[in-house]
Homo-oligomer: A and B are copies of this chain.
Amino acid sequence: MASDEGVPSGVDLVDVLRAVADPIRLRIVQTLADGRPHGKCGAHWDFGVHKSTMTHHFRILREAGMTRTIVTGRTHSIQLCRDELDARFPGLIEALTVDCRARSVGTTG
């Protein structure tokens, strides 16, 4: 491993794809797509799964190089690495979020 060629590696497309290839994690990424940090205990994460399961999903996202965690006291916030992701895989996050964007448009008004 660790084959840093001229390309800015560290994040593999397959790893990213595998990370978002899950209903819960895809939803997390879509929610995080605004680029702002979100608390891990937020009400958005009401997937009906166990607490440790969420930790697991957050870990997958993090290990895929998609998110970073900000620790503030005893609360953890998670943030999508939009800039890096957009730089490495242009249009990917947008393509992933266009699905939920389409839901917002049309339901309102």
Contact = CB atoms under 8 A, between A and B. Distances in A.
A89 interface: yes
Interface stretch (A14-22, A51-59, A73-81): A14-22
Interface of A: 13-14, 17-18, 20-23, 26, 89-92, 94-96, 98-99
Given A17-B21, A21-B21, A23-B14, A95 B92 contact: yes
Nearest to A92: B95
A13 B21 CA distance: 8
A18 B26 CA distance: 11
Contacts of A91: 91, 94-95, 98
Contacts of A94: 91, 95
Nearest to A19: B21
Contacts of A13: 26, 96, 99
